[in-house]
Structure 1
Amino acid sequence: MTMIPENQLTNLFENLVTQFVKENLESIMRAEIKHFMEDPENEHNSRNGYYKRTLHTKYGYISDLEVPRDRQGSFQTHVFEPYQRRDGWLEEAVIQMYKSGMGTRDVARFIESMFGSHYSPTTVSNITATVLEDIQNWQERPLQKRYSVIYLDGLYVKLKRSTVSGEVIYFAMGIDEEGRRQILGFYIGGQESSNGWRDVLKDLYNRGVHEVLLGVFDGLPGLDEAFKEAYPQADVQHCIVHKVRSTFPKIRVQDKTDFINDLKTIYNALDDVCALAAFDTFKDKWVKRYPKEVKSWEDQLSTLLTFYQYPEEIKDAIYTSNPIERMNKEIRKRLKPMNSLTNMDAAEKIVYLDVIAYNERFESRVIRGFADPKVKQDLSEKFAKRYPDSDNNTDN
């Protein structure tokens, strides 16, 4: 029995697949021109044989694809564009590799080694540049009028201008009335500041976000005021996790466990009354040893305990900005192999592709607790009370 070498068998299979694809594409185009010629507008036109051309497909390279033509030269197949030499899969692969953190030179080398197609770093950059128009459209898209929760958080990245320096990416995430989360916008550049956030919030408002119940973010100076300027009827919740993290390094090693456990009695209390009582106990115990740290918690207590005004079922989603921080962590992981971003366009392209993937992943998921009928009723009543003239209000 004669055995066919594995490499020959592979080549034979690939040739069969390519031939199959070629025959089917030609069959589609024959049907297209037949339909085209049946149009009354083409009664004085006629077919004019075929011309041959090449086409790269994900199934292989077709060197002699027969494309039908007409006498007047007005027929155009929908199988590919007039000057297209690839069916789009390789360009999509380039974008996905770029998204994963590969630089333009790395992508170019990989494409050439794997597929034999020469892509210069400039070509790779040009392909990914097609994303820029999508970014602008996405950044200007209208948003919903109501969001139960808006999260704000910043992520620092190394960005190259004349020199490499850390700059912030401002992220805004919203939870809508149905409990679904999505990134509403991202904004790159400069150092994080309340004025930067003020611009972000103005943009959200101008794009349609007019009614918000709760803003969740850290205690950046001036951010509360900026948020309240945009949404005066909304509550503010400072992230408990951020506050604990900022306090932890200031506590002596021998006190850390007891100190943190005592803090937990405040934000894990049954209700706000019990939480305030727990804080009084905490204060009496620690104020002499850590007066600045205790005062810092006391000064922020009202905004650290806002979550007690909302249903217990959604506490885990609103007492911390962890939902948006987890997304930032994913993006940071993507950017890590790149060391620094070559320019603003590169930063926007990578972040946009990650944000789109994130939104698609969570577009149909409801955050735990928000689907509960009692929670939905409570939030609906809060909206109606704070925005009585809203056309979003419904009779309950």
Structure 2
Amino acid sequence: MSSSIPNSDFVNQLENLIREFVKEKLELIMKEEIKNFLEVEQKEVHNSRNGYYTRSLDTKYGKIDQLYVPRDRNGDFQTQLFEPYQRRDGWLEEAIIKMYQSGMSTREIGKFIERILGSSYSPTTISNITDATIEDIRKWQQRPLNKRYSVLYLDGLYIKVRRDTYAKEVIYIVLGVNEDGYREILGFYVGGQESALGWQEILQDLYQRGVKEVLLGVFDGLNGLEEAFKSVYPKADVQRCVVHKVRNTLNKVRKKDQIEVAEDLKLIYRAATKEAAIQAFHEFEKKWSKKYAREVQSWEKDLDVLLTFMKYPLSIRSVIYTTNAIERTIKDIRRRLKTMNSLSSIEAAEKITYLTIQDFNEKWSNRKLRGFSNAYQALQEMFEERY
């Protein structure tokens, strides 16, 4: 008759064996370290071994107790495996930051660590560990930027954040496409309510950090934003987000007309040339002006800035007539922030946003935005003509 070990017991035994193995190897390495230290580094010094002291160390394999660390009589030896007062190896800090980045709250992370290590980590301790990113954020926000960007996408999202009380505040985000066609989040700025003045200050910051030449700015219809953009980049074009415009229009027409209106609008912004787009608008105007006069007038008023993209190479038009390129990034930031419901400080919002942005920037670093390779020469000529 065969007997089997319960699964939980087997796992515990395996974990214990792994920890014992790691403990043994760490102690072996430290024995070699102190031997080399005394025989080579302190060959001319009167010094010798002085037994061991014991300590604990949290590792990715669990907590190791009674770890024997050698010492010398002069107290000069220090193992390179960990710092004297370090109670965990670097994996835990990295894991905590990754969990925080994924949207777990500091309380949830603390409970998770307690389950796997048996050690208690308060939300404050977790927050202090993630604070290591604050210095990285400040350096990143001040880094110099490229001189030329073919496109700047501007957009933002609202989050609930605490100062004295909880209130919704904006995170401004700027995505740039450099002259070689690579995307990069150039900056993010947390706080206040979205405004044209806020965007102007952000654009001035980008200019001071090196962004001197821009061909096109793509953003929605926030009041005053076009003027703010042109005040910093007067030689750049402005593209109003067509998708936002269509969405706003459809929200104002009757449900039974929405599909037909949407199809008629497609004939405008999917036309092959600006002339054809204008002709399609006139057809749209004839058809809908009596029923939806305000909506038609709004399109007439904004038509030029909605069709700016048509003066650019065909290969990139589909990615520059809308802010979709940046909205996907914002959607992911919002998803990671959503699990937290509300944020305890501006710094907490900055940490999550920064860590998420780094993921995107790394992913984009060797991947050109669709169509920009084919458009490279034409865009270079546009830069030379303007600047």
TM-score by length of 2: 0.93
347-356 or 94-103: bigger deviation: 94-103
Gaps of 5+ in 2: none
In the alignment, which residue of structure 1 is the partner of 2:116? 114
Contact 2:62 2:116 in 1 (8 A): no
Q: 1:206 aligns with which of 208, 219, 240?
A: 208
Where in structure 2 are the equivalents of 1:124-163 lying within 5 Å?
124-163=126-165
Measured against aligned partners, the alpha-carbon deviations of 1:243-300 in whole angstroms (never above 9, x if no partner) come to 0111111112333222221111111001112112212222222223222211211111
Partner of 2:19: 18
3-state SS, counterpart of residue 186 of structure 1: strand
Q: Match for residue 369 of structure 2? A: 367
1:100-249 alignment runs, 5 A limit: 100-249=102-251
Equivalents in 2 of 1:47, 1:54: separation in Å?
Answer: 24
The answer to whether the 8 A contact 1:215-1:227 is kept is: yes
Q: What's the CA shift for 1:45?
A: 4.5
Mapped partners of 2:382, 2:35: distance in 1: 62
Give the whole-Å Cα distance in 1 for the aligned partners of 2:150 and 2:21.
Answer: 54
Verify the 8 A CA contact 2:153 2:218 in the aligned structure 1.
Answer: yes
CA displacement 1:71-110 (0-9 Å, x = unmatched): 3322322211110011122233322222222222222223
SS at structure 2 position matched to 1:72: coil
Residue 382 of structure 2: aligned partner: 382
Residue 181 (structure 1) shift = 1.1
Q: SS of 1:185's equivalent?
A: strand
Deviations along 1:106-146, one digit per CA (max 9) or x if unpaired, are 22223223321111122122122222112111111222222
Q: Would you say the 8 A contact 1:37–1:45 is kept in 2?
A: no
Which residue of structure 2 aligns with residue 315 of structure 1? 317
- The question of 1:257 aligning with 2:247 is answered no
Q: Give, in whole Å, the separation in 1 of the partners of 2:115 and 2:53.
A: 31
What's 2:328 paired with?
A: 326
**2:30 — aligned with what?**
29
Q: Is the Cα–Cα contact under 8 Å of residues 148 and 212 in structure 2 kept in the other structure?
A: yes
SS at match of 1:338: coil
Identity of aligned residues (%): 57
Deviation at 1:8, TM superposition (A): 4.0
CA distance in 2, matches of 1:309, 1:32: 67
What is the distance in 2 between the residues matched to 1:235 and 1:75? 64
- CA–CA distance in structure 1, aligned partners of residues 80 and 314 of structure 2: 56
Residue matched to 1:391: none
Letter in 2 for 1:139: Q
The SS at the match of 1:156 is strand
1:175-216 Cα shifts (integer Å, max 9, x gaps):
112222121111111111000001110111111111111111
Q: Structure 2 vs 1, CA of residues 276 and 92 (structure 1 numbering), >3 Å: closer, same or farther?
A: same
2-side partners of 1:45 and 1:237: how far apart? Answer: 76
Cα distance between partner residues in 2 of 1:47 and 1:66: 17
C-alpha distance in 1, partners of 2:13/2:254? 71
SS at match of 2:317: helix
**Matched position secondary structure for 1:371:** helix
Does the Cα contact within 8 Å between 1:57 and 1:89 map onto a contact in 2? yes
- Counterpart of 1:87 in structure 2 is 89
Closer, same or farther: CA 275–10 of 1 in aligned 2, 3 Å: same
**Would you say 1:68 and 2:73 are equivalent positions?**
no
Q: Distance in 1 between matches of 2:160 and 2:17?
A: 49
**Equivalent pair of 1:37/1:43 in contact (CA under 8 Å):** no
Of stretches 323-332 and 50-59 in structure 1, the one that deviates more from structure 2 is 50-59
Superposition RMSD in Å = 2.0
**Counterpart secondary structure, 1:250:** coil
2:58–2:117 contact (8 Å) kept in structure 1: no
Task: Out of 20-29 and 302-311, give the one that drifted further.
Answer: 20-29
- Give how far 1:326 is off: 1.0
Question: Partner residue of 2:288?
Answer: 286
Kept after mapping to 2: 8 A contact 1:239/1:319: yes
Deviations 1:151-194 (A, max 9, x none): 00010111122222211110001111222212111111111100
Shift in Å, 1:319: 0.7
The equivalent of 1:44 in structure 2 is 45
Displacement of 1:226 in angstroms is: 1.1
Q: CA deviation at 1:68?
A: 3.0
The worse-fitting range, judged by mean Cα deviation, of 315-324 and 282-291 is 282-291
Provide closer, same or farther for how the CA distance between residues 18 and 205 of structure 1 changes in structure 2, counting only shifts above 3 A. Answer: same
Query: Is contact 1:45–1:70 with CA below 8 Å preserved after alignment?
Result: no
Which residue identity does 1:294 align to in structure 2? V
Q: Is 1:5 aligned with 2:5? A: yes
Unaligned runs of 5+ in 1: 388-396
With structure 1 as the length reference, what TM-score do the two structures score?
A: 0.91
